Amino acid sequence: MTWKKVNNADTGTATKFGGDDTDKISNAFSGTDVDDFDINCDFKIRSGKLQQRNPANTFSYIHTPGAIIADRIINYPVLAGTDTLTFDSHATTLANKTLASSCNLTAIPIDTLNAGTDITTNNVSTTKHGLTPKLPNDATKYLDGTGAYTVPTAGAPVGAQYVTLTTDATLTAERTLAVDDGFALTDGGAGSTVKISRSLRDEASKHYFMITDCCGATLPPDFQSAIVGDASLGNTLPAGQTQIGLWSLSTGTAATNSIGIRTSTNMLSGFAQGPWIFEANVSFPVLSTSAQRYQFRIGFIDQTTIDADDGAYFEYDELSDTHWRINTANNSVRTKTNTTVTVTAAQYYTLRIEVNAAGTSISYFIDGTQVSGSPITTNIPAAGRSFGLGLALIKSVGTTAVVARVDWMLADCDLTTPR
């Protein structure tokens, strides 16, 4: 539509329109640039009627609002300079834009995003989720639990606890399989088996071992009794006892009676054979008193009616002390040390003697605890001094029989030189 003009060169007056005024309005609506419009009133433009032309005046941006059902206000920000609107289907690079945490980006495929950079700020760590670190371009490295690329150890972990036949330089916590005397280890090779077999002959050649459960009045091999007066050896379990076998040594009624059980006094010549262990479990139903006095010795001894001339042994001698005493003797010169363990009636004590391989130090234990004064390093039987294993109960005062009970007794030696 072309707007008509008056074309009468009439400028009008201060209070009346002239033809030029109406021509300016016609030009304004016909594409001619005239004075600026300053609109300060409601101005409605119907949908599709607001058109913004391109510079060549050939095509238009046609504004088409949606089918809103109430008035809506569009707020424009305070711009710091010339800026550009962003549209849904138009490719745009956004700068200085922050998305709210409630923004839903699930519909954006990750492979449509631009290529990443070397910024590591959002990499995964031990404290937060994040992006995978850039690959190291090394096929031998893998992402470990700390977020670093490392070369994993091939095979099983080297720090695990393995049982091997020999030590391995690549392992840090392996244990090697070994067998004690009397056993043999046969390796069948890779893919086969490891066989452990027993050899009594090998065990006997390298080891001495003796144990008795004291189950009868008949003594075990290599042991003999030494009885003075009407002393006796019984094996009847008292009522309420739970032991398996029990020797009851009784002094009888004479004040000079005694009873001993021992091996030959020529069994040992010093402690040159190797490390020794002696152990026994003993109890006294009634303690020694000034009216009914007795002495008791057990371990490595050579006498059963008097104190040992040579040996290493435990002693209960109430006349000297009410505690257990530990002793060594070498050619009748003795070291005697009182422990802090008081002998109590009817209590069973496990007495243990350990002699080192060199025969230069002897340790004493009661119920698994090393006693005060142990070890003893003086007056240990020298080479050539003879003694054996045994025990002795010796009466010295009174005519009432006293009893010592022995539940079990053992001796063990790893021979330094196989026989």
186, part of any domain: no
Q: What is the pLDDT of residues 123-163, one digit of tens each?
A: 888 998 988 888 889 988 888 889 889 988 766 777 788 88
100-107 long-range Cβ contacts below 8 angstroms, 24+ apart: none
Helices (H), 57-107: none
Q: What is the pLDDT of residues 72-125, one digit of tens each?
A: 998 888 888 888 888 878 888 777 777 776 777 666 677 777 777 888 888 888
The contacts of residue 27 (CB under 8 Å, 6+ apart) are 3, 5, 34
Cis peptide before 275 (omega within 30 of 0): no
3-state secondary structure 215-255: CCCCCCCCCEEEEECCCEEECCCCCCCCCCCCEEEECCCCC
Q: What integer pLDDT is reported at residue 256 of this predicted model?
A: 94
168, part of any domain: no
Tell how strand 386-397 and strand 369-370 pair up: unpaired
Q: How far apart are CA 350 and CA 352, in angstroms?
A: 7
119, part of any domain: no
42, part of any domain: no
256, part of any domain: yes
CA-closest candidate to residue 159, choices 146, 139, 174: 174
pLDDT at 373 over 80: yes
Q: What is the pLDDT of residues 48-64, one digit of tens each?
A: 888 888 999 899 989 89
Q: What integer pLDDT is reported at residue 30 of this predicted model?
A: 76
90, part of any domain: no
Confidence class of residue 299 from pLDDT cuts 50, 70 and 90? very high
Q: What is the pLDDT of residues 306-342, one digit of tens each?
A: 999 999 999 999 999 999 999 999 999 999 999 999 9
Distance between terminal CA atoms of the chain? 134
Domain, as residue range, for 28: 1-33
Is the pTM for the entire model greater than 0.75?
no
Number of domains in the chain: 2
The contacts of residue 189 (CB under 8 Å, 6+ apart) are none
Q: What integer pLDDT is reported at residue 350 of this predicted model?
A: 98
361, part of any domain: yes
- CATH number of the domain to which 363 belongs: 2.60.120.200
91, part of any domain: no
